Amino acid sequence: MSILVNENSRVLVQGITGREGSFHASSCMAYGTNVVAGVTPGRGGQLFEDRVPVFDAVAQAVRETQANVSLIFVPPAFAPDAIAEAADALVPLIVCITEGIPVQDMVRLTPYLAGKQVRLIGPNCPGLISPVASCKVGIMPGSIHRPGRTGVVSRSGTLTYEAVEQLSSLGIGQSSCVGIGGDPIIGTSFVDALRLFNDDPDTDLVVLIGEIGGSLEQDAAAYIKEGFTKPVCALVVGATAPPGKRMGHAGAIITGEDARADAKIQALREAGATIIPTPADIGATAQAVLARM
């Protein structure tokens, strides 16, 4: 079993004829993902890789292919409209890879999405993957993943890949891996993902990777303390970042005490999570926790 995507996921790719969209759509298909449609305005009627129909609008694509996941590769200026279009078509799961969407655009879009029965992953995220279901919706390298019973949720795409590589090299497979995104305003939080992992009978352990900025990690700590039933290994990076300076992601900036790495680590430790000392220790820490279970 997996969270969010599985063998029943029917994926449409918004921006499928662009350079990034076409490359990663092909990669998803090669991994086993059921890509059923593409959407590029003005390109309707074409076929992608001679088998995936391209439509001018998301609503038409959903109506004709029953797509239930949208993967968005659209430039920042147009990505909010692409997300809204998928939401208007009532696509249940929307995954936006786009980096650089203005914060003000997300401020306006967030309440609009709240009135619809949809879930947004991202933006500025690597997407998600379920090795147990051979379904990849995003840009992560599928070759490093192995099916198993460890969940991964992360704000950092690169550290997601590092975590998975270490886990897989130790024979620790993954049930699902979710990159929630590094922007200040995102659709799905750590708590949202943890709730899904908590309800997944085939996930035994969760590796959580946070960073400086915001209070998502403290929110996760509160949820873990209140009722998360599975072990959590947590890494928070950015301990040496200076206040007020953005480090990497748009949301990775220390703007108050809660945004500091040490405050996040303390909250997660007090909640019962096993703290991962450095990025190099992800796999070994998870292996040690699993050995004690």
Cβ-based neighbours of 199, under 8 Å, separated by 6 or more: none
Amino acid 263 reads: A
Where on the phi/psi map is residue 90: left (φ > 0), alpha (ψ -120 to 50), or beta? left
Residue 62, burial from CB neighbour count under 10 angstroms (0-12, 13-18, 19+):
buried
Give the burial string for 120-147 (b: 16+ CB within 10 Å, else e). bbbbbbbbbbbbbbbbbbbbbebebbbe
230 and 198 in contact (C-beta within 8 Å)? yes
24, 119, 145, 249: the active-site residue: 249
In the 8-state DSSP scheme, what is residue 229? -
Separation between Cα atoms, residue 126 and residue 117, nearest integer Å: 23
127 and 137 in contact (C-beta within 8 Å)? yes
145 among known catalytic residues: no
Evaluated on CA atoms 268, 272, 277, 279, the torsion sign reads negative
Cβ-based neighbours of 45, under 8 Å, separated by 6 or more: 54
**Which residues are the active-site residues?**
249
